[in-house]
Amino acid sequence: MQFEIRALGPAGRKTLTVEAAGAGEAAEQARGQGYQVLTVAPRTGVAARWQSRGSHFPLVLFSRELMALLASGLALTEALQTLVEKEGKGETRQILEGVVQHLFEGERFSAAIAHFPESFPPLYVSVVQASERTSGLSEALARYVTYQEQVELVRKKVTAAGVYPLLLLGVGGLVALFLLGYVTPRFAGIYEGNMDRLPWASRLLIAAGGFIEAHAVTALAGVLAFAALVVWGLTRPASRAWFSRLLWRMPGLGENLRVFHLTRFYRTVGMLLQGGIPVVQALGMAEGLLHPELRLRLDGATRMIREGQSLSRAMEDNGLCTPVAVRLLRVGEKSGRMGDMMESVARFHDEELARFVEWFTRLVEPILMALIGLVIGVIVVLLYLPIFELAGSLE
């Protein structure tokens, strides 16, 4: 969630936009950058989200280009100046110029990019900060790019799986509205004078069609208002939390959602461990990727680790492991390659989730098509059934 912070800094009063799980965390980020926090308020509304999308910093592209320049032998400052010269007069150029300026003031790269939390998330800053201890910036950037591409690939698979069912529902709903609002009133003229002889279901359908035709503007406004209400509800944290709890309680789907959250968590922690960040710190940094229920379990696991318990035991006792993950974590503890093992856990469950998404899509699509066909078929049958009955009575 985005927060707007009004703060005092060396250059005077400034307004910051920070991505954080809560207001307290957002304030801590601002204080960590040397600002004195005055007010913290969540950014809400369509304008804020539109502005956020319009000012998106191409972080993965920036990382790839920086890696290529560093590999060619340029120093970090020279590479960044080259990227500044490449950019036009956009916000990206301003951000990079700000980073270069902070570098010339003697700050480390991690501290320089930390001044721009809306472009460089805390996870990215931490990866860079860890690489500064080993002088392996290119390797750290490569790990982050690989991580981001894998997360984006999973997100695209899940999004693509939901597009076709939503398209089916949309098209089916429009066809049903067309039959009710245009075709049904035409049949009302045919049955004029014989409405008492029609089945009650047909009379109800014709009455509904007549109402929609007579109040077409009102009906259209009602549909649009309902759609806007649904979209608005999905943007509210309380509504999303309620919908999330509902999904988690559904048999089959809830367990796969749990595995999905754990997969993102393990991939992130694995990348941080490979970058040299301690286990407890890595777990805390990736905590925001988990469902609120799982975050409570992570707190228990973190306490056990601080008390001297092994990572695999702490995760298993707090329900943050699958059977496969427990075994791989134990192997990682013996070999000292915990980061690699967490990445292996994420890859294994990625394949498992891909199979579930494919199965779910194949199951839902024919069910939706059958449901839409049934609704349209019932409307058509209720319209033509009286004609068949009247024709039978004339024989």
| pLDDT of 49 higher than 50 | no
Q: Which residues pair with 39 in a beta bridge?
A: 6
Neighbouring CB atoms inside 10 A of 138's CB total 16
Give the mean pLDDT of the chain.
Answer: 79
Structure confidence by residue, pLDDT tens digits, 218-229: 777 887 888 788
Pick from 68, 24, 19: which is nearest to 48 by CA?
Answer: 19
Give the integer Cα–Cα distance in Å for 341 and 335: 10
Instruction: Supply the pLDDT for residue 54.
Output: 40
Q: With beta carbons less than 8 A apart as the criterion, state whether 92 and 73 touch.
A: no
Q: Where in the chain do CATH 1.20.81.30 domains reside?
A: 136-395
Give the integer Cα–Cα distance in Å for 115 and 313: 38
Q: Is the dihedral of CA 179, 185, 186, 190 positive or negative?
A: positive
φ, ψ of residue 199 to 5 degrees: the values are: -60, 150
State the pLDDT confidence band at 2, using cuts at 50, 70 and 90. low
Rounded average pLDDT over 303-313: 89
Higher pLDDT, 11 or 199: 199
Rounded average pLDDT over 314-331: 88
| pLDDT of 275 higher than 50 | yes
Give the integer Cα–Cα distance in Å for 61 and 65: 6
Stated pTM of the model: 0.60
- List Cβ<8 Å contacts ≥24 apart for 67-71: 67/138, 67/141, 67/142, 67/145, 70/137, 70/138, 71/138
CATH class of 136-395: mainly alpha
Lowest mean pLDDT among 39-48, 57-66, 163-172: 39-48
Q: What is the DSSP letter of 22?
A: S
Q: What percent of the chain has pLDDT over 90?
A: 1
CA-derived radius of gyration, the chain:
29
State the pLDDT confidence band at 48, using cuts at 50, 70 and 90. very low
Instruction: Supply the pLDDT for residue 46.
Output: 44
| pLDDT of 199 higher than 80 | no
Rounded average pLDDT over 331-353: 85
Instruction: Supply the pLDDT for residue 296.
Output: 84
Can you list the alpha helix ranges (DSSP code H) found in 179-252? 184-190, 200-214, 216-235, 237-248
Give the integer Cα–Cα distance in Å for 162 and 361: 8
Dihedral, 193, 194, 199, 201 alpha carbons, nearest 10? -30
**C-alpha distance across the termini of the chain, in Å:** 71
Q: Where in the chain do CATH 3.10.20 domains reside?
A: 1-50
| pLDDT of 237 higher than 80 | no
| pLDDT of 172 higher than 80 | yes
Give the integer Cα–Cα distance in Å for 248 and 301: 21
| pLDDT of 35 higher than 60 | yes
Q: Where are the beta strands (DSSP E) in the chain?
A: 2-9, 12-19, 36-42
| pLDDT of 110 higher than 80 | yes
| pLDDT of 47 higher than 50 | no
CA atoms within 13 A on the CB side of 317: 13
Higher pLDDT, 24 or 282: 282
Pick from 227, 234, 266, 284: which is nearest to 352 by CA?
Answer: 266
DSSP per-residue letters across 334-388? HHT-HHHHHHHHHHHHHHHHHHHHHHHHHHHHHHHHHHHHHHHHHHHHHHHHHHH
Instruction: Return the SS3 of 288.
Output: helix
Architecture of the domain delimited by 1-50: Roll (3.10)
Give the integer Cα–Cα distance in Å for 110 and 135: 12
Rounded average pLDDT over 181-193: 75
State the pLDDT confidence band at 243, using cuts at 50, 70 and 90. low
Q: Which residues pair with 14 in a beta bridge?
A: 7
Instruction: Supply the pLDDT for residue 50.
Output: 40
Beta-carbon contacts of residue 388 (< 8 Å; ≥ 6 apart): none
State the pLDDT confidence band at 239, using cuts at 50, 70 and 90. low
Give the integer Cα–Cα distance in Å for 79 and 67: 9
Written as one letter, the residue type at 55 is: S
| pLDDT of 214 higher than 80 | no
- In the sheet where 2-9 sits, what is the strand order? 12-19, 2-9, 36-42
State the pLDDT confidence band at 11, using cuts at 50, 70 and 90. low
Give the integer Cα–Cα distance in Å for 228 and 281: 41
Structure confidence by residue, pLDDT tens digits, 339-348: 888 888 888 8
∠64-290-271 over CA atoms, to 5°? 35
